[in-house]
Amino acid sequence: MNKQIILLPGDGVGTEIMESAKLVLNAVASEFGHSFALHQHAIGGDAIDQYGTPLPNETIKACQQADAILLGAVGGPKWDSLPANLRPEKGLLGIRKSLGLFANLRPVKGFTSLLHASPLKESVIKGSDILIIRELTGGLYFGKPSERRENGNAVVDTLYYQRSEMERIIDKAFQSAQIRRKHLTSVDKANVLESSRMWREIVNEKSKDYPDVTVEHLLVDAAAMKLVTQPNQFDVMVTENLFGDILSDEASVLTGSLGMLPSASIRSDGVGLYEPVHGSAPDIAGLGIANPLGMILSVAMMLRHTFHLEEEATEIEQAVHETLRQGYYTPDLHIKGGKQVSTKEMTAIVVENMTTKS
Ligand code: NAI
Ligand code: MG
């Protein structure tokens, strides 16, 4: 398999964990005989410093021709005083939008070795393994009008969706459930919102096309509660943009550290952008202690979702589990009786665990 992958390290710890991603990709390539062509480009503050804009045309062009994109993180105090449209974060929103990446996938798993690291009780998180699918390009974040009215004494935001936008994300969710535990929770606010009533209708229509998947509807307020009381009752959860933004952040407390969480933003033809959920972590940037596991698990997601390399993806995930089981952790985590290591050491151990299978 010969694939073009664009690397966008970005800022802060983004550049450090991108090195981890490269090592893992090289290990997969040599073990399985693939050839990954890796091309590095600038985004965010790094691009502002080099080109005066957070998203240079050259980067957009390269991404449009790529099979997949891996991103570190963008932003940092150095660029905080710039006007909103010139800030590093604009680069990220811009690339998602210009590539039409409408489905945001965030797997959240309670790692056995890290159950104690979550503020929630171990008995509550044990066994949880959730895939949250958030619609990324519609809803309240993009609807027009969105403006102040009546001399600033009133305000309007618009929740707008086309049927086709709901259908494609709901299809993606059913398909994801089919290759997991075949249970889909659709989250809405159908007791109040017309958009949610249409969403629910579509889920019910679509469920006829996926008879092997069990569907459950939950109101968003009930879903928020259940996520922290019975998280192990979920398999795939699908919801619109705003609800998904909130619920996916809430679910991240299950894993104990932001540094553990991968994500994917994809479209129907399989092209996707893969990145850890966390930001550029300016407080620890340059110290060589960032947790690379969210990034490494994002590489696994890329191999699975864009390249359909299930065996390779599983091998990476198992190596991450094994590394934690052996007690290795970066300072954002703590494993009792374990050993604290650097970003580079952690990466080397994961790579070693990939090739020396038990
Ligand atoms: P952050 O996620 O960068 O950091 C929050 C806390 O988590 C910090 O204490 C940090 O040290 C820790 N942390 C994050 N990733 C870690 C890792 N891999 N290993 C160990 N510890 C880790 O969020 P924050 O501080 O709110 O934002 C910092 C900058 O990042 C801002 O400029 C923000 O706009 C940007 N940002 C970028 C994102 C992206 O590129 N996707 C997402 C979120 C924030
Ligand atoms: Mg958020």
- Is 206 tagged catalytic? no
- Which of these is catalytic: 51, 141, 226, 344? 141
317 Cα to the center of ligand 1, angstroms: 23
Catalytic residue among 67, 188, 245, 332: 245
Atom of ligand 1 nearest to the CA of 10: 40
Q: Which of 150 and 114 is assigned the larger pLDDT? A: 150
ipTM of the complex: 0.98
Tell which atom from ligand 1 comes closest to the C-alpha of 293: 18
- Testing ligand 1's pocket by substitution, the residue of 82, 86, 280 carrying the most ligand atoms inside 8 A of its CB is 280
Task: Look at residue 112 in the predicted model and tell me its pLDDT.
Answer: 81
Q: Which domains are present in the chain? A: 1-109+257-358 (3.40.718.10), 119-255 (3.40.718.10)
Convert the pLDDT of each residue in 230-257 to its tens digit.
999 999 999 999 999 999 989 988 887 8
Q: How far is CA 43 from the centre of its chain?
A: 18
Atom of ligand 1 nearest to the CA of 275: 41
Q: Are strands 154-158 and 129-135 parallel, antiparallel or unpaired?
A: unpaired
Give the helix/strand (H/E) hosting 276: strand 272-276
Residues with CB under 6 A from ligand 1: 13, 73-76, 89, 92, 258-259, 275, 278-284, 290-291, 294, 330, 332
User: 81, 258, 263, 265: which to mutate for ligand 1, most atoms within 8 A of CB?
Assistant: 258
182 is catalytic: no
Label residue 357 by pLDDT band (50, 70, 90): low
Between the two ends of the chain, the Cα-to-Cα distance in Å is 26
pLDDT for position 116: 83
Distance 276 CA to ligand 2 centre (A): 12
Question: Does residue 264 surpass a pLDDT of 90?
Answer: yes
**DSSP 8-state code for residue 258:** G
Question: Any catalytic annotation for residue 245?
Answer: yes
Q: From ligand 2's centre to the CA of 277, what distance in Å?
A: 9
Residues 76-93: tens digit of each pLDDT: 999 999 987 789 998 988
- Ligand 2: centre distance to CA 246 (Å): 6
Q: Which of the four pLDDT bands, split at 50, 70 and 90, describes residue 71?
A: very high
Q: What does the alpha-carbon distance between residue 186 and residue 22 come to, in Å, rounded to a whole number?
A: 36
141 labelled catalytic: yes
- pLDDT, tens only, 175-204: 999 999 999 999 999 999 999 999 999 999
The mean pLDDT of 138-147, rounded to a whole number, is 92
335-347 per-position pLDDT tens digit: 888 999 999 999 9
- Answer yes or no: is pLDDT of 311 > 60: yes
pLDDT for position 77: 96
Judge whether 189 counts as a catalytic residue: yes
DSSP sequence for 154-218? EEEEE----HHHHHHHHHHHHHHHHTTTSEEEEEE-TTT-HHHHHHHHHHHHHHTT-TTSEEEEE
Ligand 1, atom 22, lies closest to the CA of 259
Q: Which atom of ligand 1 is nearest to the CA of 283?
A: 11
Does the structure show a pLDDT above 80 at 314? yes
pTM for this prediction: 0.91
Query: Rounded to the nearest whole angstrom, what is the distance from the C-alpha of residue 26 to the centroid of ligand 2?
Result: 31
| Cα 326 to Cα 319: distance, rounded to the nearest angstrom | 10
Q: Which of 161, 189, 329, 332 is catalytic?
A: 189
Position 356 scores a pLDDT of 76
Cα separation, 50 vs 56, in Å, equals 9
